[in-house]
Amino acid sequence: MNLGSVGYFIKSSFKGMYKNALMTLASVFVLIACMLIIGTVYLTSENVKSFMGKLESQNEIVAFIDDKYGDDSLSREQLCDKVKAISGVLSVEYVTKEQAFSEYRASLGENGSYLEGYEGEDNPLRNELRIKIGNIEQFSSVSRAVSQMEEIANLRDSQDIVNMLLSVRRTMNMVGFWVLVLLAIVSLFIISNTIKLAMHSRRNEINIMKYVGATNGFIRFPFVLEGILIGILSTGAALLFQWCVYSYALVPALSQLSFLSDTIVPFKSMLISLVVIFGAIGLVVGAVGSALSIRKYLKV
Amino acid sequence: MILFDDVYKNYPNGTNALNGISFKIEDGEFVFIIGPSGAGKSTIIKLLLREERHSSGKIIVNDYKLNKLKNGRIPYLRRSIGVVFQDFRLIETMTVEENVAFAMRVIGCNSKTIRRRVPYVLGVVGLGHKSKNYPKELSGGEQQRVALARALVNNPKTIIADEPTGNVDPALAREIMELLIEINKMGTTVMVITHDRKLVDEFNKRVIALKNGQIISDTTGGYEYNELG
Ligand SMILES: Nc1ncnc2c1ncn2[C@@H]1O[C@H](COP(=O)(O)OP(=O)(O)OP(=O)(O)O)[C@@H](O)[C@H]1O
Ligand SMILES: [Mg+2]
């Protein structure tokens, strides 16, 4: 193949798309639809993730320190370092019982007066460690490790909530994955049919190409290119539509849910991932779909 | 050089199309292959082009040993053979010159070479003035010459014409034969497949006669058609 053939390939592919305009258009639309569904699932899941990220960051383990242990700054520091060394721990905060007490009173507001008489020496609270976890998958292992430390009397964690969050996240990943697989197969089928049609309408040309000694690669190329062009066209259009769907449908819908409204992810920050997802679908489906349909016509 | 050595061809449905065929055609020869319908003439072309595989025996075509030929080499084998099919097989949506240029383009020739070569070949077959016409606008004889130009354009070592005089009147048949003889004089090996006994008689060339998949005579000049029965 030489440079002179490039013009032939491109012309040939566009001619093929034009001749089969209806089918080409149909496959572009189907591909756009598939991309939009995948894209919408992705954008929704990013928003749920961003909301869950907030929830996750609020999840902490509160470990109460046995009163036997010293309260001087050196032992505080040593204790914090010891906890930090546990894998999965993001940050540790040492909270004295006095701080905890005043926080508690503040949280009671007007009813804070009930706590009168428990201040100072009579403070029933204990010094505590507030431990934040980087990834909630590691929540239970950190929780176990901390509870086994001799300095720790007991602890309070929100394992139930964490488990719920974990299962939501896993379900979402799985649903996303299967939607992707399913729609990729649908798109593959559609593209390969379009190319099959294109090849069928040009089977005489292909036959002549074979007889005058064109290599299979040469014959295949314009059709693969056609598939890729359909993929690229669909990717561009799908991105535009996706932006409309997100701004005018998804965001207003998500904002209705009050708990989600302050964690909405801006479209721009997901644009690159979307381009990558759509582009990969478009290119792979376009190339593989057409390559699949060609084999039959290359015999003889 | 084309060599068939004890070649058999059995089609999967049980038809024995060729039963031990042997012949050798040197570079630059002009050969007629004749025989009644079903004798196996087209089968020989299919084997030459590797459209079909022979069942046994040995075939060599322009230095390609077909017994050992890998699939990836088939296009190159075919580039060494120009075929004029009985039904021409032109592309209706392309003009005469596009049809001829197409054969060059799809084997990767560059545009400059194509622009120079196509008018020359159309001149050789006497169709320079029809280069912008579509096949539908041409007579049968003219279409055949387009097919011949396309077969010639990549400068193959061998030209094969399947029934080149089948669809045209005697005057045109003569013309096309004379063209093939001219091409042969320029050094190309020519094989003509035909039923037309008169045509064969008119030219004093080598004739290989087939019947029931066997060669019943291989003579140069003074050939007796009656042998075919
Ligand atoms: N693809 C095939 N499958 C099975 N049998 C075939 C096939 N092609 C040809 N034949 C058989 O092989 C024999 C030789 O056929 P071939 O086409 O070579 O004859 P031919 O000499 O070219 O005849 P014609 O002059 O009619 O074109 C015939 O009996 C034919 O029916
Ligand atoms: Mg035949």
Q: Are B149 and B124 in contact (CB under 8 A)?
A: yes
Q: Do B75 and A215 touch (CB under 8 A)?
A: yes
Asked if residue B74 belongs to a domain, the reply is no
Q: Pick A60-157's CATH classification: 3.30.70.3040, 3.40.50.720, 1.10.10.10, 3.60.150.10.
A: 3.30.70.3040
Asked whether residue B132 is domain-assigned, the answer is yes
Separation of alpha carbons B189 and B81, rounded Å: 9
Q: Say how far residue A223 (Cα) sits from the centre of its chain.
A: 33
Place of tokens 């545009």: B111
pLDDT higher than threshold 70 for residue B228: no
Among chain B residues, CA nearest to A218: B106
Residue B188 lies in a domain: yes
| For residue A26, pLDDT beyond 70 | yes
Residue of A203, A209, A212 to mutate, testing the B interface (most B Cβ within 10 Å of its Cβ): A212
Domain presence at residue B3: no
Question: Where in chain A are all domains bearing CATH 3.30.70.3040?
Answer: 60-157
ipTM score over 0.90, yes or no: no
Using CA atoms, how far residue B148 sits from A70, A94, A118, B75, B191, in Å, is: 104, 94, 110, 19, 13
Of the candidates A1, A204, A211, the beta carbon closest to that of B78 is on A211
Q: Is-contact B149 B100, C-beta < 8 A?
A: yes
**C-alpha–C-alpha distance, residues B117 and A208, integer Å:** 19
pLDDT in tens, B39-52: 999 999 999 999 99
Domain limits for position B90: 29-53+81-221
pLDDT for A227: 83
pLDDT tens readout for residues A199-212: 787 888 888 889 99
Strand segments (E) across B40-150: 56-61, 64-65, 81-84
| HSE (side-chain half, CA atoms, 13 Å) at B58 | 7
DSSP 3-state of B58: strand
Residue B10 lies in a domain: no
Most confident of the following: A104-113, B117-126, B172-181: B117-126
Number of domains in chain B: 1
pLDDT recorded at residue B229 = 38
For residue A6, the distance in angstroms to the closest alpha carbon of chain B comes to 10
Rounded to a whole number, what is the largest CA-CA distance in chain B?
A: 53
Return the CATH number at B166. Answer: 3.40.50.300
* Residues in chain B within 8 Å Cβ distance of A219: 106
Bridge partners (DSSP) listed for residue A60: A132
Residue B91 lies in a domain: yes
| pTM recorded for the entire structure | 0.72
